[in-house]
């Protein structure tokens, strides 16, 4: 069975439905049609990184004011990080190999017990994905809600402008087009959330599949002598050993995961530490102004 057909078959479709949905809307699903793939890729980049233009213009305009520049850096770095992660995964060939490998591993399992073991870890991955999505949606919603809450307390145009989630400049009257700019910020923030969710759901699915394969190997080794057979071949070749095949596939799958995510997560860790440092500095700088500190 082709890998593309596997993900449309019965229970397997349900196991990976959430993963497929997020990968499809970002154009990352390897079995999409050419038109759909590049349409979603273009829309994702346009909606998520369009805000970056306004942010860079704002930084250039206020470059002589260090305090103002510091206020721009965290959200600017987030936009850059999301863009780099998306482009990196988009051109990562290991991604498709992992997805193909998952389909092949399911079809290579020889007993119902092994299938149930891998199914248990896959379902657990689904639950972890829902927990992650709830947490990410909640934190993202709170970030966007902040603008609405602060706008209620604004008594002049300067305060109203400061309630926009992203520091942007488009060469237009911000007061006049406040709600249009606010809407653009919301769309960009939502797009960032979708991209990060897609990437992390891919990682969760791959890791859970690898854990499931480890469990299958453990099960096979525990029951290796349970089947009574009179025609045991003591000279069995490694290439005919199912345990050997699964272990080899698991090793290759682990290498695919490592190649897809290790450098990306190390790079992101450094940038997120930088964002935390800048955010902490911002809080100290605005410690006498509660609205600005928030």
DSSP letters along 7-72, please? TTSHHHHHHTHHHHHHHHHTT--TTS-HHHHHHHHHHHHHHHHHHHHHHHHHHHHTTT-HHHHHHH
- Inside any domain, residue 228: no
- Inside any domain, residue 136: yes
Structural domains in the chain (count):
1
Of all helices (H) and strands (E), which one includes residue 253? helix 242-285
Domain that holds residue 73: 3-222+238-293
List per-residue pLDDT tens for the chain, 294 residues long.
Answer: 666 677 877 777 788 889 899 999 999 998 888 999 999 999 999 998 888 988 898 888 888 887 778 778 888 888 888 888 899 888 887 888 888 888 888 888 878 888 899 999 999 999 999 999 998 888 888 877 776 666 666 555 455 666 778 888 888 888 788 888 888 888 998 999 999 899 889 989 999 988 888 888 888 777 766 654 445 454 545 444 566 667 777 777 777 777 777 777 777 777 778 777 777 776 676 666 655 555
Of 242, 4, 197, the residue nearest 102 (C-alpha): 4
Cα 49 to Cα 173: distance, rounded to the nearest angstrom = 22
- Inside any domain, residue 233: no
Reduced to 3 states, what is the DSSP secondary structure of residue 176?
coil
- Inside any domain, residue 229: no
| Residue 214, C-beta contacts closer than 8 angstroms, at least 6 positions apart | 250
Of 47, 77, 72, the residue nearest 58 (C-alpha): 72
- Inside any domain, residue 53: yes
Q: How many residues in total does the chain contain?
A: 294
- Inside any domain, residue 190: yes
Whole-number Cα distances in Å, 18 to 128, 157, 270: 12, 43, 29
pTM of the model: 0.81
- Inside any domain, residue 231: no
Cα 113 to Cα 132: distance, rounded to the nearest angstrom = 29
- Inside any domain, residue 227: no
Cα 130 to Cα 136: distance, rounded to the nearest angstrom = 10
pLDDT of residue 227: 54
């Amino acid at each position: 069975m082709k890998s593309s057909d596997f993900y449309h078959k019965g229970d397997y479709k349900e196991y990976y439905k959430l993963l497929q949905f997020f990968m499809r809307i970002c154009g990352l699903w390897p079995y999409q049609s050419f038109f759909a793939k590049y349409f979603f890729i273009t829309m994702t980049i346009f909606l998520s990184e369009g805000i970056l233009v306004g942010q860079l213009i704002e930084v250039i305009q206020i470059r002589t004011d260090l305090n103002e520049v510091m206020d721009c850096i965290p959200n600017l770095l987030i936009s850059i990080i999301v863009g780099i992660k998306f482009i990196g995964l988009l051109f990562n060939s290991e991604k498709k190999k992992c997805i193909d490998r998952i389909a092949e591993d399911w079809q290579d399992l020889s007993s119902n017990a092994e299938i149930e073991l891998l199914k248990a870890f896959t379902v657990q991955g689904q639950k972890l994905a829902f927990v992650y999505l709830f947490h990410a949606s909640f934190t993202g919603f709170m970030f966007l809600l902040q603008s609405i809450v602060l706008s209620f307390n604004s008594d002049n145009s300067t305060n109203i402008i400061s309630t926009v989630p992203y520091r942007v400049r488009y060469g237009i009257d911000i007061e006049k087009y406040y709600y249009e700019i606010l809407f653009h910020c919301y769309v960009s923030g939502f797009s960032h959330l979708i991209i990060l969710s897609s990437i992390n759901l891919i990682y969760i699915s791959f890791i859970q599949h690898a854990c499931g394969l480890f469990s299958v190997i453990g099960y096979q080794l525990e029951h290796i002598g349970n089947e009574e057979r009179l025609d045991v071949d003591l000279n069995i070749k490694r290439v005919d050993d199912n345990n050997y095949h699964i272990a080899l596939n698991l090793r290759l799958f682990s290498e695919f995961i490592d190649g897809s995510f290790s450098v990306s997560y190390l790079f992101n860790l450094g940038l997120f530490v930088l964002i935390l440092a800048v955010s902490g500095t911002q809080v100290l700088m605005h410690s006498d102004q509660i609205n600005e500190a928030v």
